[in-house]
Each structure stands twice: as structure tokens, then as C-alpha cells.
Amino acid sequence: MMAGKNPYQKTIYACFVGYIVQAIVNNFIPLLFLTFRDTYGIPLSRITLLVTMNFGIQLLVDLVSVGFVDRIGYRISMVGAHLLSAAGLLFLTILPELFSDPYPGILLAVAVYAVGGGLLEVLVSPVVEACPSEHKEQTMSLLHSFYCWGHVGVVLVSTLYFQLFGIDHWKVMACIWALLPLGNALVFTRVPMASLMEEGEQSLGIKELVKQKIFWVFLLMMLCAGASEQAVSQWASIFAEKGLGVSKMWGDLAGPMAFAILMGTSRTFYGKYGEKINLDHFMIGSCLLCIVSYLAIVFLPHPVWNLAGCAICGLSVGILWPGTFSKAASRLPRGGTVLFALLALAGDVGCSGGPTVVGMVSSSFGENLKKGILAAVIFPCLLLVGMLLCKKEKVVSMSYPIEHE
């Protein structure tokens, strides 16, 4: 649909950029970890806390946003999320120099952009869901593909910049990335914003929502979608480095980069051709392919094949997160901000829980990463069970509205 025919298309495009901003927030600073160690003398044990804090704050924002987003409105929240993301990136270049120990300055900068990133995760999907469009499931899948392409772009553009101008000039790159959320904040002051609820309709509260059986199925599915994705993505670089014997830079390109590209491809494919594809069938097929990819990583005898399994996993998990969002919005149309915030929370718990399970089981078996991946196959299996429960609930609810179960 052309922008001239649908004024909300500009809003949807701005949301696409919003997910690129979130990709910058989550994926730029890990490229600087060794630089922080060498420049500021910060040990890697303290640097890893930056990732934990980033996602920990985003989890907290997922939870507390339920109480204020509807009160202050989506437009103000969206503009604020982008400004906080930009401020955090800019603070990253300023605050470390203002402290005798640079580490607290970096922590504070990460905390600021983590709030922005957490808000974006809660806001972007419901804003797109509220926009009038013909094919909401396709639009949602295409939306989430922009996080993948943002991830790819951040790594490629930053790596190219560092190769051309040197890693010592990383602050300039941070300022360049900050321009994107600043520009998009301005866009969100002008684009039209639609409401998730019909006029006169009230969204469900948390107490009403948790009484719906299907809500718990969707919560399980989101947790497993995040875990299925990150359990492999977080370890793909190690597979590439150890299996292919390449440097970390090439390991990142061959591992996480290939994963992100194929995940984005899957989401873009459904975004383009989704009207011809049954979402339930596509998600069930993706769950099965995800299970196969895990087994390929664990049991195939050659490292290159294991790495191919990692890449195929990226292709298989692409639809699971946005597909669950779409199904939940369709089945619980009065879920409102509460529904999207709690789904985002469950997804983030899965994103942190999946790699944790892999790491803990691997450590228990003498740092055997394949054992950890094998244990994590429980997540795509549970997601498949969730899809089947969803189909069963759909049949039951054809005679009885979900709200009265």
C-alpha cells in the first residue's frame, strides 16, 4: 500500500527505523569491549556486566511500562525512547572522561540507552499493530526483520569504519549512530498515531488478562521464541572460531552475522509473501526446522556442518517472535499495552535464559558446548507444543469467546 493512500504508512516506516535504533543500542557497544579494556584498563569480567545491565534494565522497563505508557500516550513515549537512546550513545563519548574511573561513566551511559531500548521494545509492535493496514501479520514480520537488518548494518558499518579510520575514533562512530534516533524522534512528533482500542473500548487489565488460558500459552511461546533464538545466536561465534579456526572478526561474520541475515531473510520473506502462507503452518514448520537445526549442531560430525546448523537456526526462528505477537494480538484484541509489555518481558526472559541454560549445562559437562545446545532443544519443542495448544484453543473458542472461558 502506497504512503499516499495510507497516511499511517509513514508511522510504520518510522517504527521500522525504531527497531534499527534498538539494534544499535544492543549491538554497538559489544564491538568496543576490547577497546574499553585496552583504553580504560577495565577487565573483561567487569565489561560483561554492561551486557547484563543493559538487558536487565530493559526487562525492568518491560515490566514498569505497563503503568505509565497508556497514561502519557504512545507519541510522548516513542519520542522519549528515541531521545534516551540517542542520549545514551552520546553519553558514552562524554561520561567516561568525567570520572576518575571511566567505568561508572560507561555504566551510566548504558543505563540511559537501555531505558530507551526497553521502551522501544514495548512500544514499536503495538504502534504498528494499531496502524490500519491490510495484512497485519505480514507487516509485523517485516517490522521485526528490521531489527535483524539493523544488527547486520551496525556490525558491518562499524567494522568498515574501524578498518578505515581506526578503532581509536570510535566516539565519532557513536555520535553518527546517535543521529538516527535523534532524527526518528523528530519524525514521531509529526506522524499520525492510531489507538490500539476502538473508540469507547477499554483494554484488559493484568487481572483480566491472566485469567485467559490462551494468554499463558502465548507467554510460554514468547519465552521459548527468545530462548530458541539466543541459545544458538550467542554461541555461534565460538562455533565459527573453534570449528573453522578463524579470527574473532571473521568468526563474528561467519557466525552471528550469518544467523542474523537468515533470520532477517525469513521475516522479510513472510512480510512480502505472507498473504499466500498460513501463519500457523509456517510457524509449526519453523519449529520443526529449528529442532532439526539444533540436532544438526549437536550430532553432525564436521564443524562446518555444525556452523551451517547455526545459520539454519537463524532462518527457522525468524517468524517465531513476530508471529507470536501477531497471533496474540489477534486472539486477545483487547490486550492493549499490557499484553505487548508482558509478551516483551517473556521474550526478554527467554533471550537471557536460553544462553544461560546452554552455558550452565556446558559447564556441567566439562565445557562441552554441544551438550548445552542439546539441552536447549527443549525450547523449540515447547514452542511447538504451544502452537498445537493454540490451534486446539482456537477450535474450542469458535463456539465460546475467549473472554468467557
Percent of the chain having pLDDT more than 90?
42
Cβ–Cβ < 8 Å for 235, 401: no
Helix or strand holding residue 402 (H, E): none
Q: What is the mean pLDDT of the chain?
A: 85
Judgement on whether residues 155 and 113 belong to the same structural domain of the protein: yes
Residue 399 has pLDDT above 60, yes or no: no
From 133, 167, 195, the end of a domain falls on 195
Per residue in 300-357, pLDDT (tens digit) is 888 788 888 888 999 999 999 999 988 988 888 877 778 888 898 898 888 888 888 8
Q: Does residue 235 share a domain with residue 91?
A: no
Question: Which residues have a Cβ under 8 Å from the Cβ of 385 and sit 6 or more positions away?
Answer: none
> Shortest CA distance to 355 belongs to which of 193, 226, 200, 206?
226
Instruction: Evaluate if residue 67 carries a pLDDT over 90.
Output: no
Residue 79 to residue 178: CA distance in whole angstroms? 14
Look at residues 160, 195, 230 and tell me which one is the last residue of a structural domain: 195
Whether residue 102 is found in the same domain as residue 163: yes
Q: Which domain holds residue 229?
A: 201-405
* CB 105, CB 96: distance < 8 Å: yes
- Structural domains in the chain (count): 2
Measured distance CA(332)–CA(329) in Å, rounded: 5
Based on the fold, state whether residues 155 and 205 are members of the same structural domain: no
**pTM higher than 0.95, yes or no?**
no
Q: Say if residue 332 is in the same domain as residue 271.
A: yes
From first CA to last CA, the distance across the chain in angstroms is 37
Return the amino acid letter for 70.
Answer: D
Q: Identify whether residues 155 and 264 lie together within a single domain.
A: no
DSSP annotation string for 44-110: HHHHHHHHHHHHHHHHHHHHHGGGTHHHH-HHHHHHHHHHHHHHHHHHHHHGGGGSSSHHHHHHHHH
Pair (226, 346) in one structural domain: yes
DSSP letter at 189? T
CATH code at position 348: 1.20.1250.20
Q: Are 87 and 165 members of one domain? A: yes
Tracing cell 562441552 back to the chain, one arrives at: 368
What's at 104, amino acid-wise? P
Residues 206 and 280 in one domain: yes
Side chain identity at 205, as an amino acid letter?
G
Report d(CA 70, CA 56) in Å as an integer: 23
Residue-wise pLDDT for 134-186, tens only, equals 778 888 899 999 999 998 999 889 988 988 998 899 999 999 999 999 999 99
- Nine cell digits for residue 50: 554492561
Same domain (yes/no): 331, 381: yes
Q: Are residues 3 and 152 in the same domain?
A: yes
* Chosen domain end from 131, 160, 195: 195
- Residue closest to 328 by CA, chosen among 337, 339, 320: 339
pLDDT tens-digit profile of 88-128?
Answer: 999 999 999 998 899 999 999 999 999 999 999 889 988 99
- Residue 214 and residue 180 share a domain: no
C-alpha cell, 256:
552471528
